[in-house]
Amino acid sequence: MTVAVVHAETPEGRAALAAAVDEASRRQDELLVLHVLDDDGAAAEAEVESVRTAVRRVAGDSGWEVRTAVHDGDAVGTLVELATDSGADRIVIGSRGRNALGKFLLERPLQ
C-alpha cells in the first residue's frame, strides 16, 4: 500500500508532507512524494534534489520515493496524472483554501 503526498515548498506543502509521513508510518505504508516541474533542464535536477532534501528532513532516509513530471502548461492536469499513475491508496494535499485544485479534488466526488 502507498500514501502519496503532493509536494510544494510552502507552509501548506510542508504540513501535508508531515501529515503524509505520519499516515504512512501509522499504516506501515510506503510514502510517494509527487512533484510537478516547470522544465526538465539543469534547474529541474536542482529542484528535485531540493525536494529530496525536504523529504529527508521530515521522513528520514528510507521508505519513500519522489516521482516528478514536467508539465506542459497544465500543472494541475500533470499532477492528476501523477496521482492516478501512482496507484496510491491515499493522497495528502496541503491547501490554503478552495483554489482550483482543491475545488476539483474535493468537490468532484460530491457532484
CATH number of the domain where residue 21 is located? 3.40.50.620
pTM of the model: 0.79
C-alpha cell at 38: 516547470
Q: How far is CA 4 from the centre of its chain?
A: 6
pLDDT of residue 99: 62
Q: What is the torsional sign of CA 73, 79, 80, 86?
A: positive
Alpha-carbon span 94 to 96, nearest angstrom: 7
CA-angle at 35, arms to 34 and 38, nearest 5°: 155
Q: What is the pLDDT of residues 34-67, one digit of tens each?
A: 998 888 788 888 989 999 999 999 999 888 999 9
For residue 83, give the nearest of 101, 57, 109, 95 by alpha carbon: 101
Q: Look at the chain and report how many structural domains it folds into.
A: 1
Q: Where are the alpha helices (DSSP H) in 3-67?
A: 11-27, 42-59
Q: What is the pLDDT of residues 11-34, one digit of tens each?
A: 888 899 999 999 999 999 999 999
Residues of the domain holding 63: 2-110
Q: What is the pLDDT of residues 93-111, one digit of tens each?
A: 887 666 666 666 555 443 3
Task: Give yes or no for residue 7 having a pLDDT over 60.
Answer: yes
E strand or H helix at 3: strand 2-6
